[in-house]
């Protein structure tokens, strides 16, 4: 008896069981137990795989999630981020830009950028191996995130260790990646010992949530549970709408005596219960009978709740609500511009802090080094002046505004007042300024030779000497 009472008291005062800190990878009640995130690195490492798989599911099956992924792909990469060499010599700049553009077109670099953004947003991380192609230039091989062996975690000695397939040195810096080999055509997961790739040859891009985070976490993690609940709500609304469309009616015997008894006209109650309503039908019910139509719960409150849920999901993904839902009814010019300014700032932060330093810049440095070593580019002073050759600017596609005319005027004013260069404006639109200027000069020369003009361009006419005034006086 005493032991039983002590066990009961111990259960009563025992702390609540710990639950997984990242709810998108957990089970059970959303706020049950005592959810905590003691260390971001451990939490993301333990939950990353489950969240990634669920994020892939919703982006393939849920229209809102698929739209959110498409929005980020378009905003972060679009048709491709453009390179502009920053070498002090104009001739070298042009040579580097032309060679990199040629390599990008041959290797479909824009598609690689789009795939990297898709993996970064959906999976939380992107892995890509930089190799050497048959021509001696750079080749890129994307790797699915699950092939970076998350189960491989162990100590290596001398301060070195592996966490989730990522190898670190004694100063907690990544120095290698252990990737399981797999063919794209494999239908079933198999096992093969992971292969180590040096960090210099591997791109691992993710948005860190803390300093101790070895792997990335899907950007859909904060919204997976609300997205699932919204899907269930919309399914229930669809069933409700179907029931309302049926116009179900119930015949009620108010006296409780007519069931099974014949009516005066010989009609049975069972016949009356099988009646149906068709357009233009007028029926007279016998005495003592009433008809009541089904009144399912009104949908208006549910629709308002669904709209609130969509706004919450948009906030969790940091996407303007009218873009996320596609509903423009509540948007006007001012609200759209304000939301787009915030979203543009958010996107530019990701581009210049996460993507360009860890993806584009490293690819350019490796490409330029291999291009010089393979003889594609001939720069005798490359080794002595690497910093000059590696200097460059990256220009993501221009972010279109609601009013493009005002956008162009703002760009022109920025250039006119020295806040921006024409080179930067042209590069943001995906063009090379030297090639653009050459085309403009050629167009104007042709127009002038033919005596035609478009816009502000006017043909130059030869000046005629002034006539002499031969009048007397």
pTM confidence score: 0.76
In angstroms, the CA 22 to CA 40 distance is 10
SS3 call for 215: coil
Residue 300 confidence class, pLDDT cut points 50, 70, 90: low
pLDDT at 234 over 90: no
In angstroms, the CA 272 to CA 389 distance is 91
pLDDT at 90 over 60: yes
In angstroms, the CA 96 to CA 116 distance is 24
Structure tokens at 372: 């010089």
| Range ranked top by mean pLDDT from 214-228, 277-291, 331-345 | 214-228
Q: Which residue has the higher pLDDT, 3 or 435?
A: 435
Residue 31 confidence class, pLDDT cut points 50, 70, 90: very low
Q: Which residue has the higher pLDDT, 450 or 28?
A: 450
Which pLDDT does position 464 carry in this prediction? 55
* Percent of the chain scoring above 90 in pLDDT: 44
Residue 178 confidence class, pLDDT cut points 50, 70, 90: very high
pLDDT at 22 over 50: yes
Least confident of 179-188, 206-215, 357-366: 179-188
DSSP string of 236-267, one letter each residue: HHHHHHHHHHHT-EEEEESSS--TTPPPTTS-
HEC per residue, 136-168: CCEEEEEECHHHECCCCCEEEECCEEEECCEEE
CA 291 to chain centre: 54
Q: Which tens digit of pLDDT belongs to each residue from 306-327?
A: 888 999 999 999 999 999 998 8
User: In sequence order, which residues have a C-beta less than 8 Å from that of residue 2 and are 6 or more positions away?
Assistant: none
Which pLDDT does position 174 carry in this prediction? 94
The answer to whether 96 touches 85, Cβ cutoff 8 Å, is yes
Q: Region 24-33: what's the mean pLDDT?
A: 56
pLDDT at 209 over 50: yes
Least confident of 134-148, 203-217, 419-433: 419-433
Between the alpha carbon of residue 385 and those of residues 31, 98, 100, 238, 381, the distances in Å are: 58, 20, 19, 66, 6
pLDDT at 9 over 80: no
Which pLDDT does position 465 carry in this prediction? 54
pLDDT at 194 over 80: yes
SS3 call for 365: helix
Q: Which tens digit of pLDDT belongs to each residue from 400-409?
A: 766 677 778 8
SS3 call for 19: coil
Average model confidence (pLDDT) across the chain: 82
* Percent of the chain scoring above 70 in pLDDT: 76
SS3 call for 453: coil
| Range ranked top by mean pLDDT from 29-33, 398-402, 425-429, 457-461 | 425-429
Helices (H), 62-131: 63-76, 90-107, 109-122
Q: If we measure between CA atoms, which residue out of 237, 234, 152, 239 comes closest to residue 196?
A: 152
Q: Which residue has the higher pLDDT, 102 or 459?
A: 102
Least confident of 131-145, 156-170, 286-300: 286-300
The answer to whether 122 touches 69, Cβ cutoff 8 Å, is yes
Which pLDDT does position 14 carry in this prediction? 47
């Amino acid at each position: 008896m005493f032991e039983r009472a002590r066990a009961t008291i111990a259960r009563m005062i025992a702390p609540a069981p710990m639950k997984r800190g990242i709810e998108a990878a957990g089970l059970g009640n959303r706020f049950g137990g005592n959810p905590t995130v003691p260390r971001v690195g451990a939490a993301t490492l333990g939950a990353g795989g489950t969240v990634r798989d669920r994020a892939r599911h919703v982006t393939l099956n849920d229209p809102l999630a698929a739209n959110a992924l498409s929005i980020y792909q378009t905003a972060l990469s679009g048709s491709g981020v453009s390179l502009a060499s920053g070498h002090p010599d104009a001739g070298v700049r042009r040579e580097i830009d032309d060679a990199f553009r040629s390599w990008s077109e041959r290797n479909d670099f824009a598609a690689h950028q789009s795939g990297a953004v898709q993996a970064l947003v959906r999976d939380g991380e992107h892995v890509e191996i930089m190799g050497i192609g048959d021509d001696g230039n750079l080749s890129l091989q994307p790797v699915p995130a699950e092939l970076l062996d998350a189960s491989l975690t162990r100590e290596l000695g001398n301060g070195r260790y592996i966490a989730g397939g990522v190898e670190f040195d004694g100063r907690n810096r990544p120095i290698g990646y252990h990737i399981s080999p797999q063919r794209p055509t494999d239908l079933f997961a198999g096992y093969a010992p992971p292969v180590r790739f040096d960090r210099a040859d591997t791109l691992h891009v993710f948005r860190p949530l803390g300093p101790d985070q070895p792997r990335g976490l899907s950007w859909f993690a904060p919204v997976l549970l609300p997205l699932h609940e919204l899907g269930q709500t919309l399914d229930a609304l669809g069933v409700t709408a179907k029931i309302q469309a049926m116009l179900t009616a119930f015949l009620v015997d108010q006296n409780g005596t007519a069931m099974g008894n014949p009516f005066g006209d010989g009609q049975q109650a069972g016949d009356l219960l099988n009646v149906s309503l068709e357009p233009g039908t007028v029926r007279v019910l016998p005495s003592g009978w009433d008809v009541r139509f089904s009144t399912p719960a009104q949908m208006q409150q549910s629709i308002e709740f669904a709209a609130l849920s969509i706004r919450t999901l948009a906030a969790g993904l940091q996407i303007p609500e009218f873009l996320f839902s596609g509903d423009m009814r509540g948007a006007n010019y001012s609200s759209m511009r304000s939301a787009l300014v915030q979203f543009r700032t958010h996107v530019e932060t990701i581009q210049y802090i996460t993507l360009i330093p860890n993806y584009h810049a490293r690819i350019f440095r490796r490409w330029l080094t291999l291009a010089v070593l393979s003889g594609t580019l001939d720069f005798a002073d490359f080794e002595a002046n690497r910093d000059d050759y590696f200097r460059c600017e990256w220009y993501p596609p221009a972010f279109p505004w609601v009013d493009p005319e005002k956008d162009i005027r703002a760009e022109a004013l920025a250039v006119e007042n020295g806040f921006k260069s024409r080179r930067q404006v042209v590069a943001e639109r995906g063009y090379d300024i030297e090639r653009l200027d050459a085309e403009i000069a050629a167009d104007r020369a042709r127009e002038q030779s033919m005596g035609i003009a478009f816009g502000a361009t006017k043909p130059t006419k030869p000046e005629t000497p002034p006539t002499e005034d031969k009048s007397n006086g």
